[in-house]
Amino acid sequence: MNKSIVKWLVAFERKVLRRMSGATKGKLEKRCNKEFMQLCGDLDIFSFVSKTQLNFTCHVNRMDSER
């Protein structure tokens, strides 16, 4: 993944977390990014995607060469 994709994923994740928490435009309560990261358990989408890609790569390496 390049930097622009990572930047887009992080922005998308924050947007989704804000919408899920109800902190959207017009609301008085504002939360910072650290609070959102605590809500989701400090697992960001970039780490999740990287981990998934690594698991898939390992899976492909273990496959038979005949497949």
pTM for this model (two decimals):
0.52
Is the pLDDT assigned to residue 55 strictly greater than 80? Answer: yes
pLDDT tens readout for residues 2-37: 888 888 888 888 788 777 776 666 654 666 767 766
Tokens of 37: 């990261």
Contact 45, 17 (CB under 8 A): no
CB 64 within 8 A of CB 16: no
Instruction: Give the number of other CB atoms < 10 A from CB of residue 20.
Output: 12
Domain that holds residue 11: 3-62
Indicate the number of domains in the chain: 1
Classified as helix, coil or strand, 64 is: coil
Residue 35 domain-assigned (yes or no): yes
- Per-residue pLDDT, 18: 75
Query: Which region among 31-35, 49-53, 55-59 has the lowest average model confidence (pLDDT)?
Result: 31-35
Question: Is 67 within the bounds of a domain?
Answer: no
In a domain, 47, yes or no: yes
pLDDT at 43: 66
Residue 8 forms part of a structural domain: yes
